[in-house]
């Protein structure tokens, strides 16, 4: 349920349904198979929807609450395995493969973004932007973090992870019968723990970084729990 009634709906739209893995399509990503889904990109998209303003969203965020903004800068600086130096990535060639990981991670990300964006009411009235960020309550924070944990349960591509561990720097030949299934952060951590090589150590470090990111996200949500803020086209006014 939304934080407050509003004539405009959640900017994400309707609450996305829980994904059904069998609905996943075959994909052949040019950029390769990422072991970890893009957590930072997922959270950033939610924030962009909350603050609006296109490329100016970050300026609106900064002026809304400097503490929240600095929390985000710290969180977004963490290396969570999807981009950055030595990201776990597997190159493959050949046919497209059924990618339940990409499908489930994407849908659970949308569910997280919807829950996060329940705090904002936005739309246009006769061409004039209307945007109010309400006070986040415990129920809202609990729902957002629950959705985040759903993302973590579908975060890792099992096929990419196995190849990353056991075939360093080798291109994987795709096959028609391969299905990329999602596994949780915890399962990936357990698999890495039993191995003893540089790549397993790298995955363990990323898992720890994601633990830190979860704590940072909880702190960020708390920054939305003080005052109601309404955008007047120039800045925020509070009530």
Structural domain contains residue 5: no
- pLDDT score at 126: 80
| Domain hosting residue 29, numbered range | 25-238
Long-range contacts of 232-235 (CB under 8 A, 24+ apart): 233/128, 233/129, 235/63
Q: Which of 191, 186, 157, 174 is nearest to 87 (CA)?
A: 157
Domain contains 129: yes
Q: Identify the three-state secondary structure at position 92.
A: strand
The answer as to whether 122 is a domain residue is yes
The residues with which 132 forms a beta bridge, in sequence order, are 121, 230
Residue 121 lies in a domain: yes
Please indicate, yes or no, if residue 1 is contained in any of the structural domains: no
Let me know if residue 126 belongs to a domain.
yes
pLDDT digits (tens, 9 = 90+) for 28-43: 878 789 999 999 999 9
Mind listing the pLDDT tens digit for each residue in 93-116? 999 999 999 999 999 999 999 999
111: in domain: yes
Question: Are 28 and 102 spatial neighbours (Cβ–Cβ below 8 Å)?
Answer: no
What pLDDT was estimated at residue 114? Answer: 96
Give the range among 11-15, 206-210, 218-222 with minimum mean pLDDT.
11-15
pLDDT of residue 52: 94
Task: Check pLDDT > 80 for residue 3.
Answer: no
pTM, entire model: 0.94
Question: Which of 140, 96, 82, 101 is CA-nearest to residue 19?
Answer: 101
Q: What is the average per-residue pLDDT within 141-146? A: 97
Domain count, the chain: 1
- CA–CA distance, 121 with 119 (Å, rounded to integer): 7
């Amino acid at each position: 349920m939304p934080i407050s009634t509003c004539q405009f709906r959640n900017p994400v739209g309707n609450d996305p349904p829980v994904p059904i893995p069998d609905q996943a399509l075959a994909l052949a990503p040019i950029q390769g198979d990422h072991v970890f889904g893009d957590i930072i990109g997922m959270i950033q998209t939610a924030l962009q929807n909350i603050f609006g303003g296109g490329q100016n969203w970050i300026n609106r965020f900064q002026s809304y609450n400097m503490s929240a903004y600095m929390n985000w800068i710290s969180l977004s600086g963490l290396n969570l395995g999807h981009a950055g130096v030595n990201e776990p990535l597997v190159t493959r060639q050949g046919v497209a493969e059924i990618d339940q990981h990409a499908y489930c991670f994407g849908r659970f990300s949308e569910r997280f973004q919807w829950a996060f964006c329940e705090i904002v009411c936005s739309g246009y009235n006769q061409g004039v932007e209307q945007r109010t960020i309400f006070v986040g309550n415990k129920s809202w924070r609990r729902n957002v973090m629950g959705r985040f944990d759903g993302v973590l349960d579908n975060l890792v591509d099992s096929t990419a992870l196995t190849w990353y561990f056991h075939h360093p720097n080798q291109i994987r030949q795709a096959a028609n019968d391969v299905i990329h299934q999602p596994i949780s952060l915890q399962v990936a951590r357990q698999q890495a723990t039993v191995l003893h090589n540089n790549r397993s150590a790298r995955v363990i470090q990323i898992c720890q970084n994601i633990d830190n990111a979860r704590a940072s996200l909880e702190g960020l949500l708390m920054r939305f729990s003080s005052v109601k803020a309404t955008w007047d086209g120039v800045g925020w006014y509070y009530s």
